Each structure stands twice: as C-alpha cells, then as structure tokens.
Amino acid sequence: MSHDPIDLNPSTLVELRDGIDAIDDRIHDLLMKRAELVMRVGELKGKGPAGTPFYRPEREAQIHRRLEGRHGGPLPVEAVHRIFREIISASLNLEKQLSVAYLGPEATFTHEAALKQFGSAFTMFSTRTITEVFHEVEIGRANFGVVPVENSLEGVVIHTLDRFVRSPLNICGEVLMPVELNLLARGGVLGEVRVIYGHFSALDQCAQWLSHYLPQVKRVEVASTAEAAERARREEGAGAICGPFAANRYGLVVIAEHIEDQARLENRFLVVGRESPAPSGADKTSIMVSFLDDPGFLHRILGVFAERGINLSRIESRPTQERAWDYLFFIDMEGHRQDEGVSAALEALGALSGVSVKILGSYPQHAL
C-alpha cells in the first residue's frame, strides 16, 4: 500500500481527479484489510461453542456510535452511517451468510427498516403477515425477522405484541425511521391525478394536504403502501402515498414530497431472533408482565422500577388471549438486563407474588 501524501490543494480538474483516484485506492486497500480482520473474527467465532453468534448488533452499534462521536467534515453523519452499514454488511457476509424475513411486500417501510439494520448483503425475503415473520425465524428458515411495532402507517403494532406471547424469540434490535410520505405517480403532473391509493393511516396522515391540493380527487384505501404503489404503476392517472423507497422500486415519479400533515412522525421496528445481544453501553430491555387483577398491582410493579431509578420508555397494555379482562403489560426500559439496576429490578419483579414476567430481550438502543 502506498502512503504518499495526498495533495489536498490541487488546482486543475485532472489533478483533483488524480487526488480522488489516489484516495479511492487507499480506501479500497483498507476495505480489503478490514475484511481480512473480520474473516479472522469469523474463524474465532466458528471455533467457539456451537451457536456462537456471528451477527453482533451490540458491536455494530458501538462502531456507529464511535464514528458519530469522531464525526466532522462535509459528509452528513447519516451518509457515514449508510456507508459503514454496507461495509459491515458485506464484511459479515464473509463470516456467515445470514437471512432476514420482513413484513412485505417489497418496498414497504418494514423492508426499508430491514435494509437499514442489516445492509444489502443479507438474503432478504418478505412474508405476508407478522406472524409469518416470526414463524420463518422460529423454524430456522430465516436467522432474523423485522416487524413493525410502533407504526403510525401500517397500524399493526398489536399483532407484533400479541405474537411475543407465544414466541420463543428474543428482541435483538430496534430500528427507528422518520416517516416521510410522498405522492407518487407514473407521470409527474399533479393535475393529472384522478385517484389516490394509500394505506388508511397514510391517507389519514395526509388528509389536510390532500384536501388542500386535491380536494376533488377520490381517495381509495388499500392494504399496504406497496399495494398503493403497485396500483399507481398499473393505472393511468392514479397516485400513491408512499415512502421515498417505493418510487424507484415501482418506477414512479415523486409529484410532491413530505405531504404528511404532522412533521417528525417516527416508525419503530423490532428485530427478532434467537440470539441475546451483549450490553453495548446504551441499551433497552423489553419485558411482558401479567398479574392478577388486584387493585394496586400496577402501582407496585411500577414502583419496582421507580425505586431503582430505571427509566421506562413505553408501557402498553393488551388483553391476554386466555381470559377476558386479564391484561398483559409490555414495558420497555432503558438499560440492559445484565446492568445492575435492571437486573435487580427484574429480580424484584419476579419475586412479587401473582406476577409473571417474560423478558423479551435486551438490545442496543437505535444507533443511527
């Protein structure tokens, strides 16, 4: 590898491009060196006890956080994350080929979340339902699954929560994505749109924009954003409300960007698998708690966390599927189950009589 200093102040186009070529050669050489080290890590893992995980989300989160901490220069930090996402994805693929099932069809927000988490070197396939995503991982046809959990668009949170009741899988990660809704069509002219397809919550979230700019246009509800895109691809004069990801996949043109009425909406997705990530330094733990329908029980449960200063980021209640009026609580907290405070709280919770606790997983807090 040559280490000639690179001239950062060339003046002509030819010199500038020579400089870029020289840098590309170095990046290329370094990528190969990095890949060699990753392969050696893979060999060590292969020699470890059976079931030693190859994919290490906690390590990947640490890499992204470290880069974010040292970041500076003209490229936005999101671009750095994307580039390293792909470097890590391609490198891990040298250790082991892994597969991911996601709630489809292709080009849904969940597909985009799966790519954001795993990069494009994983084998990915879609399923029609959330329960099938879990099933594919449970029977070992996929190593990991990606499902929406707090999804203002696909409105399916409850199916994901309910599926954890009878699944042996763990949560291995979370993906957060800002909601961006665009109006897409085959042609790029707003005045030619005669009908708009969208998932009901996409139509709902853009209602003001649609009433303002397209008051006469019929709105038709479909099962997914991907189906909306498919209809717009097939039908002349049809528009679809989709994320930016769908435009390329379906060969559509963006007529209007960011047509959602409320800014800063975010979707959250979970990665499920058989592995339990080690602490990354900034983690979350999700649990499921059921208890007798007694006055004061919820108060006592929450007290266990409050006494230990553990921050709860979400509490969701669902009826149990066993008896009417029995409830399950899904609780997310900050920290890893191996952290002192969280582990003490979980132990205290388990010791309360009449309470049953299932730990769904500890995983790195969304890093990028």
Interface with ligand ISJ by CB under 6 A: which residues?
38, 41, 55-56, 59-60, 63, 88, 91-92, 95
d(CA 343, CA 333): 12
Would you call 340 helix, strand, or coil by DSSP? helix
User: Which CB sits closer to ligand ISJ, 120 or 211?
Assistant: 120
User: Which CB sits closer to ligand ISJ, 37 or 207?
Assistant: 37
Looking at 107-154, list the stretches that DSSP marks H as alpha helix, in order from N- to C-terminal side: 109-118, 130-138
Q: Go through 333-357 and write b for each residue having 16 or more CB atoms within 10 A of its CB, e for each that does not.
A: bbbbbebebbbebbeebeebeebeb
CB 92 to ligand ISJ: min, Å: 4
CB 239 to ligand ISJ: min, Å: 40
CB 71 to ligand ISJ: min, Å: 17
User: Which CB sits closer to ligand ISJ, 60 or 162?
Assistant: 60
CB 94 within 8 A of CB 40: no
CB 221 to ligand ISJ: min, Å: 40
CB 181 within 8 A of CB 259: yes
Tokens of 297: 């029980």
CB 44 to ligand ISJ: min, Å: 9
CB 267 to ligand ISJ: min, Å: 24
User: Which CB sits closer to ligand ISJ, 148 or 277?
Assistant: 277
Backbone angles phi, psi at 166, to 5 degrees: -115, 20
User: Which CB sits closer to ligand ISJ, 43 or 257?
Assistant: 43
CB 95 to ligand ISJ: min, Å: 6
User: Which CB sits closer to ligand ISJ, 143 or 151?
Assistant: 143
Q: Go through 45-55 and write b for each residue having 16 or more CB atoms within 10 A of its CB, e for each that does not.
A: beeeeeeebbb
User: Which CB sits closer to ligand ISJ, 175 or 259?
Assistant: 175
CA–chain centroid gap for 342, Å, is 24
Pick the closest to residue 243 from 154, 339, 141, 168 (CA basis): 154
